[in-house]
Amino acid sequence: MSQLLVGNTGIELDKDGFLSSPDQWNEEVARALAEHEGIETLNQAKIVILKYLREYFEKNHNFPILRSVCKKVGASANCITDEFVDPMKAWKIAGLPKPPSVFFTSFDGKNYFANPFY
């Protein structure tokens, strides 16, 4: 486990960089997580995606189909990869726990697909 400093508070991350306590998430924590993941700024489009991921997880306890996220937030079909590059980065920045069986593969570094063979 490691700690991420958010303001004057240390936030616990697990060994893979996921927020240990998802209930500690807020936009300030999201900004710190984004910086930790190499994303310098969180624009409004990114925040909308992150909030939708959290809402989806609260209702379904699962990782959503990526294109459906983009459709629900009114963005381009590849909004997650356009905004975050890697879908798992978006999931981490949303402060959600590591999904136990979701792995992504990209053949071009732009489009990611859930890979069921991991």
The per-residue pLDDT for 118 is 44
Q: Assess whether pLDDT exceeds 70 at residue 65.
A: yes
Phi-psi map region of 74: left, alpha, beta (phi>0 left; psi -120 to 50 alpha): left
The mean pLDDT value of the chain amounts to: 86
Query: Of 2-16, 52-66, 91-105, where does mean pLDDT reach its minimum?
Result: 91-105
Q: What are the pLDDT digits (tens) for 87-116?
A: 889 999 999 988 766 555 666 666 655 655
With beta carbons less than 8 A apart as the criterion, state whether 89 and 53 touch: no
The Cα angle at residue 10 between residues 12 and 41, in degrees rounded to 5: 90
The per-residue pLDDT for 81 is 87
Q: What is the pTM of this model?
A: 0.82
| Nearest-angstrom CA–CA distance, 5 and 52 | 25
